[in-house]
Amino acid sequence: MSEHQKHDEHTSFIKTPKQLLVVVILAFLVPILLISILASLATHSVEPSAKVESDEAIAKRLKPVGQVVVAEGSDTPGQRTGKQIVEAVCSACHATGALNAPKIGDKGMWHDLIKEGHQHLTENAIKGLRQMPPRGGNPQLTDEEMARAVAFMANQAGANFTEPPVQAGATQAAAAPGAPAAPAAIAAAAPAPAAAGGAANGKSIFDANCSACHATGVAGAPKIGDKAAWAPRLKQGMDTLHQSALKGKGAMPAKGGNGSLSDADVTAAVDFLAGQGK
């Protein structure tokens, strides 16, 4: 073999700087691409949905036969949250500061009250204090609902009170799934029959929203059944009374402080209230 042939066998295929640059780049890229492909294959080897389904299946098997469900509140008396009670009953005064009621969110007005403690404030709300009637004027509210309402309002001003939990459907939840509910539980779960007639409907709206002021006469509100107080107002006409209740007048906020009421609800309550003053 000639010397020239031996030299060609040991000569590198890299002959130019450009070829050297390509080799260096490939030396870095190829291992990186291989590692990425392997990692991707390992990640997708187990379907996420399979794991979720497995976790759900395990949780379902471990679920107890009966349980007490803590609900977010409802329209059922005794099971309403603090927020629901405040919006329906307390906001008439506490949203506007009427009769020097501590306004919701006013940390200055609530500072000293919060120091008295949740239990003491709740007792005052239940019994009534100064111009605030017992239970905010709604005797249908339970002690637990009053405690929730007090906690909700105080917490808006910096307190850290705990609302009593709403135990919804505890009687029904104690039974095994699929088992027929007891007659008492069915009766409790059944919706109340609709009020017959506008007057009956107006009374229920009045009891839940307007009685806080109109049952006691606070803030100059004409008391229900006080014919002398209602006589000059009735002369203004029902349309005027309706508009005053819808838009608010004096210390009375619009819709009695409950913005969730429809116009028809408000006018029905006004009709009932005015009817008692004729």
Q: Do domains 82-179 and 197-275 have the same CATH topology?
A: yes
Q: Is the pLDDT of residue 85 over 70?
A: yes
Q: What is the mean pLDDT of the chain?
A: 73
Average pLDDT on 34-47 reads 73
* Domains of the chain by residue range: 82-179, 197-275
Q: What pLDDT band is residue 269 in, cutting at 50, 70 and 90?
A: confident
Average pLDDT on 105-118 reads 90
Average pLDDT on 61-81 reads 59
Q: Could you tell me the fold of the domain covering 197-275?
A: Cytochrome Bc1 Complex; Chain D, domain 2 (1.10.760)
Lowest mean pLDDT among 190-204, 221-235, 259-273: 190-204
Query: In terms of Cα–Cα distance, which of 157, 117, 126 is closest to 144?
Result: 126
C-alpha distances in Å from residue 218, one per residue of 41, 57, 130, 152, 250: 74, 58, 10, 23, 12
**What's the pLDDT score for residue 152?**
92
Q: What pLDDT band is residue 199 in, cutting at 50, 70 and 90?
A: low
Average pLDDT on 64-71 reads 45
Q: pTM here?
A: 0.47
Name residue 252's beta-bridge partners: 249
Could you give the CA distance from residue 90 to residue 256 in angstroms, rounded to a whole number? Answer: 10
**What's the pLDDT score for residue 175?**
34
Average pLDDT on 178-184 reads 36
Could you give the CA distance from residue 133 to residue 138 in angstroms, rounded to a whole number? Answer: 9
Could you give the CA distance from residue 210 to residue 256 in angstroms, rounded to a whole number? Answer: 6
Average pLDDT on 129-144 reads 82
Per the model's pLDDT, the better-predicted residue between 97 and 60 turns out to be 97
Among 1.10.760.10, 1.10.3720.10, 1.10.40.50, 3.40.309.10, what is the CATH number of 82-179? 1.10.760.10
Average pLDDT on 57-82 reads 60
